[in-house]
Amino acid sequence: MFRKVLIANRGEIAIRVMRTLREMEIVTVAVFSDADRASLHVRMADEAAWVGPSPSAESYLRIDRILEAARKHGADAIHPGYGFLSENADFAAACEEAGIVFIGPSAESIRRMGSKTAARQMAMAAGAPVVPGALETLASVDEARSFGARYGYPLLLKAVAGGGGKGMRRVDSDAALESAFRDAASEAERSFKNADLYVEKLIERPRHIEIQILGDRHGHMVHFGERECSIQRRHQKVMEECPSPLVAERAGMRERMGEAAMRVARSAGYYNAGTVEFLVDGSGDFYFLEMNTRLQVEHPITELVTGQDLVRLQMEVAAGAKLSLRQEEIAWRGWAIESRIYAEDPYNNFFPSPGKITRLTRPTGPGVRLDGCVYEGWNVPIDYDPLLAKLAVWNDTRERAIARMMRSLREYDVGGIRTNIAFFRQILEDEEFRRGRLHTGFVDEFLARCKPLQPPPELAAIAELVAAHHAKESTSRNGSIPAAPAAPSRWREIGRGEMLR
C-alpha cells in the first residue's frame, strides 16, 4: 500500500479523500493556492504544498506544479478527486511517467471516454443501448424522414457543429419535418457557418440515472448499482438519491443497467472507479450517455446504501491489489439522499454568495453524513465552485429518508453568506418529488409552479421581538456604535420572508 498520497484537489473532496487515507494510516499531502491557505483541507492534511496563485489555471490545473509538489514531498501516488485534473489524460500519463501512481484509470481509458462521439461508438460496439440516432450528417430531409418512420416521433434535429441549442429543432410529426429541417439548417448555417444536421430520437422527460463501477487491473469488475441524478439545474446535479425510485420498483433493471455499464467500461480497458451515465425514458428503457472516469461528487449515497468505502477500494486497486469484492457481496439497504449545499442565493437567481462564514451549526444525529469544507470564520473564496458541503442522509425507506433530510436541513445554519438550504426544503415538500416522478426538467418545472411560501405570522413576530432585543444587547455591550441610518423610524418589518418567492 502507498505510504504517502498527494491529493490534487481542494475543498470537500480533498477532505473526503484524506479521511479514508487517514483511516488507512497513509500520510496525506494537500496542495493549495493563495486563496486556500486557510482552507480546511490544508489544515487537516499532514503535509501541504503551495502550488500557485488563486486562479485554478495557475495552481490546481498546473500539471508541472502538482508533480513538483508530489516529488518534493515524496508522494507515492496522487488522488485527483473530481474536476480539475481528474479527467485529464495528459495528467494521468505525466504521473505514470514520473513514477507516481495516478489513482484512477489509465490515460488511455480517459482519452477514449473523453470524446462523446468516440465513447458513444464504443458503447454501441460493446452492445450497450444508445439513444437511437445517426451520428453521420443527414444528406437530405428524406433521410430524416426514414429515420422518423423507423424510430417514431418526436425526434430531434441537431447541428453537427452545434452547441447551446442553436440549430436544434424538435419535430413531432412527419408533416412538420420539412420546415423544421429548413429552419434548423439555416440557423446552423448562421450560427456555425455549417448547415449540416444529424438526427436523434427525442427522449421526453428523461431521467438521469448512473451506475457506479469499480475494477482492478486484473480484469475483475463490479458495479454498485445506480444513483438517480435527475434533480438538476442548468445541467448541474443538485440533489441525488440511491436507489432510483424507478429502478427500485422494476425487477432486474439494476442488474441490466449494471451489466451494460460494465460492458462499456470493459471495452475501454477500464480500471479503478468510474460512473456510466444513462438517460432513462418513461418506459424504463435506458440509453448510454457518457462515462465519467473519476470518483463522482455524489458517491457518498452509494457508500451509505452499500456500506462500502469507494475511496478505500480506489486505493487498493490503484496499489495493484486484486479486488476481493464479488458482485454477490454487494447489497443495497435502505435509501440515501444527498443535497449539494452551495454558497448561492436561490432567491436571487442562484447568484454566487462568497464571503465570510459568521455562524455555523451543522446537522448531526442519526443517519446524517456531512462532507464539507467550511468552518466558522472561513472566507468562501470567489475563485472556485461554490460547493460548501454535501449533506447526505440515510434511512430505511425513501419516505423516511426525505423526512430525515428535512430535519437535517432545519438543523443546518450557515450565517454571513446565502445558501440554497431553504430551496431543498421546498423541493422536498413538493408532491411530484415525493411521488418520485423525477426527470431532468424537474427543477425548471418546479420553479415555474412552486407557490410563494408565506412564513407563519408568528415567526415574523418572533423576528421582531428578537431584533428589538438584539438592538438593546448590542448597544449596552458594545462601545462602538454600529453604523446605521440616522433617520428615525419605528420598528418596521420589511417583510421578506425569504422562503417565499
Residues forming the site for other proteins (CB under 8 A) = 351, 353-356, 358-359, 409-410, 413, 415-418, 421-422, 425, 455, 458-460, 462-473, 475-476, 479-499
H-helix or E-strand spanning residue 123:
helix 116-125
Tell me the C-alpha distance between 276 and 213, whole Å.
Answer: 8
Tell me the C-alpha distance between 438 and 390, whole Å.
Answer: 20
Tell me the C-alpha distance between 459 and 177, whole Å.
Answer: 56
Does 294 participate in catalysis according to the annotation?
A: yes
Give the angle 337-339-342 at the CA atoms, nearest 5°. Answer: 170
Per DSSP bridges, beta strands 368-372 and 379-380 are unpaired
Ranges of beta strands (E only) in 281-415 are 286-292, 335-342, 344-345, 351-352, 355-356, 359-361, 368-372, 379-380, 387-395, 413-415
Pick the closer one to other proteins by CB: 99 or 488: 488
Strand partners, 390: 340, 371
Shortest spacing between CB 403 and other proteins, in angstroms: 16
Pick the closer one to other proteins by CB: 84 or 378: 378
User: 3-class SS at 272?
Assistant: strand
Shortest spacing between CB 411 and other proteins, in angstroms: 10
Shortest spacing between CB 381 and other proteins, in angstroms: 13
Pick the closer one to other proteins by CB: 436 or 497: 497
Shortest spacing between CB 171 and other proteins, in angstroms: 42
Pick the closer one to other proteins by CB: 331 or 467: 467
Q: Nine-digit cell at 494?
A: 420589511
CA trace torsion 27, 5, 392, 299 (10° rounding):
-150
Tell me the C-alpha distance between 260 and 495, whole Å.
Answer: 53
Shortest spacing between CB 198 and other proteins, in angstroms: 41
- Cell 424537474 sits on residue: 442
* Other CB atoms within 10 A of residue 230 CB: 26
H-helix or E-strand spanning residue 228:
strand 221-233
**Active-site pick, 294, 340, 398, 404:** 294
Pick the closer one to other proteins by CB: 240 or 344: 344
Pick the closer one to other proteins by CB: 101 or 421: 421
Pick the closer one to other proteins by CB: 57 or 487: 487
Shortest spacing between CB 479 and other proteins, in angstroms: 6
In 24-87, where does DSSP find H-type helix? 40-44, 63-73
Shortest spacing between CB 95 and other proteins, in angstroms: 38
487 Cβ partners below 8 Å, 6+ apart?
none
Q: For 82, phi and psi rounded to 5 degrees?
A: -120, 165
Q: Which residues are catalytic?
A: 294
